[in-house]
Amino acid sequence: MSSANLLFFSLLLVGPFISVSSSNWIICWSGVELSFLGLIPLLFMNNKYVSLTKESSMKYFCIQALGSGLLFYSGLMVFSDLSSEFNLLLFVLSIFLKLGVFPMHFWVPSVCAGLDYMSLYFVLTFQKIAPFAFLNLIISELNEEMIMVTMVLGGLTSLVGAIMGNNQTDIRSMLGCSSIVHSGWLVLGCLTGYFWGYFFIYCASLMIVFLFINKPESLSEVGVGILSLSGLPPFFMFLGKWGVLKTSLELYFPFWSISLFMVGAIISLVFYLKFSYSFLLNSWASSWEKSNNTTTMFFLMFNLFVLFIFFCV
């Protein structure tokens, strides 16, 4: 990695730390922008399809710049004497625009389709920390009606992302739709206080996919990694969804709103299984023999870890 890329990567890491550790909305907004500006040059790092990357990067830049402008304007209104229901809604929607949450989710699959896997991982993980820190900051300012609106939008995000994922044939676009689904669960995690647990589990599960996706001999591991993103009970991601659902029920959230997330999880299981089976069945016989033991080890690790957690609890 060159010295310039190292500098931009440092900005990418410093921005979320500033947003998370800040209690002032201006400093939190500055952390969002530092992370965004640090990521843009990294989108062009080690990519063969430069023209496609330029298109995706320009889309991402325009969307994030629009979200930053709306976030700053609505923040001035909310944290001043001009606060109103409309300004609060605009503030939440500007955060949703930066995160790709319904109804501001339209840009995610097209942007993800043209990015390199390393850049895509940064977009789907690190770039979510600072906006979600902003959402955690504003939750205390929301009344019950706005909290319910936020929860319903999160549920619709999970549902719409699952429907969009079933229409995808490209792995990058599918991971973008998967990110939309998980963003809805992360919104519910912000409302229930289980955000960090779910977020770290999601980052770990997504990292398993990206570690093996560029290795032709590891197609079966990629299939297992994609299946783990679905949140089926033997896998690591199940702990995150179980924790969010458990805390939301303990807080007496309406069951009809929680059911939106559950229906979205069931629908999204279709494209997770489709892509997982595609990787598993298209792996060559020689590579299957080499990686079958590793895949079995992954299954055992996930099962043993989940059983260990449940026994501890």
The secondary structure element, H or E, covering residue 150 is helix 144-165
Residue 98 CA to residue 4 CA, distance in Å, equals 25
Give yes or no for a cis peptide into 234 (omega within 30° of 0). no
**Identity of the highest mean pLDDT range in 208-212, 262-266, 306-310:** 262-266
Q: pLDDT-derived band of residue 5, with 50, 70 and 90 as boundaries?
A: confident
**Per-residue pLDDT reduced to its tens digit, 296-305:** 555 556 556 6
Nearest to 181 by CA among 164, 201, 205: 164
Provide the pLDDT for residue 216: 66
CB 236 within 8 A of CB 201: yes
Look up residue 75 and give its two tokens.
Answer: 């923040």
Mean pLDDT (the chain) is 81
Provide the pLDDT for residue 303: 55
**What is the pTM (predicted TM-score) of this model?**
0.88
**How big is the chain by its Cα radius of gyration, in Å?**
19
| More confident position, 312 or 59 | 59
Out of 7-11, 235-239, 309-313, which region has the weakest mean confidence (pLDDT)?
309-313
| More confident position, 24 or 157 | 157
Q: Is the pLDDT of residue 112 over 80?
A: yes
Q: Is the pLDDT of residue 205 over 90?
A: no
User: Mean per-residue pLDDT for 101-124?
Assistant: 87
Q: Is the pLDDT of residue 185 over 90?
A: yes
Q: Is the pLDDT of residue 281 over 50?
A: yes
Provide the pLDDT for residue 46: 63
Q: Could you give the percent of the chain with pLDDT greater than 70?
A: 84
132 contacts: CB under 8 Å, gap ≥ 6: 99, 186, 190, 195, 199
Q: Is the pLDDT of residue 59 over 60?
A: yes
User: Mean per-residue pLDDT for 102-106?
Assistant: 86
Look up residue 111 and give its two tokens.
Answer: 């942007």
CB 92 within 8 A of CB 189: no
Residue 43 CA to residue 41 CA, distance in Å, equals 5
- What is residue 306's three-state secondary structure? helix
- Give the end-to-end CA distance of the chain in Å, rounded to a whole number: 43
Provide the pLDDT for residue 311: 47
Provide the pLDDT for residue 160: 92
Provide the pLDDT for residue 288: 47
User: Mean per-residue pLDDT for 42-57?
Assistant: 72
User: Mean per-residue pLDDT for 163-177?
Assistant: 88
Look up residue 296 and give its two tokens.
Answer: 């079995």
Residue 204 CA to residue 125 CA, distance in Å, equals 10
Out of 14-28, 97-111, 170-184, 291-305, which region has the weakest mean confidence (pLDDT)?
291-305
Provide the pLDDT for residue 96: 92
Provide the pLDDT for residue 313: 53
Residue 159 CA to residue 227 CA, distance in Å, equals 18
Provide the pLDDT for residue 286: 45
Q: Is the pLDDT of residue 253 over 90?
A: no
| More confident position, 220 or 250 | 250
Q: Is the pLDDT of residue 269 over 50?
A: yes
Provide the pLDDT for residue 312: 56
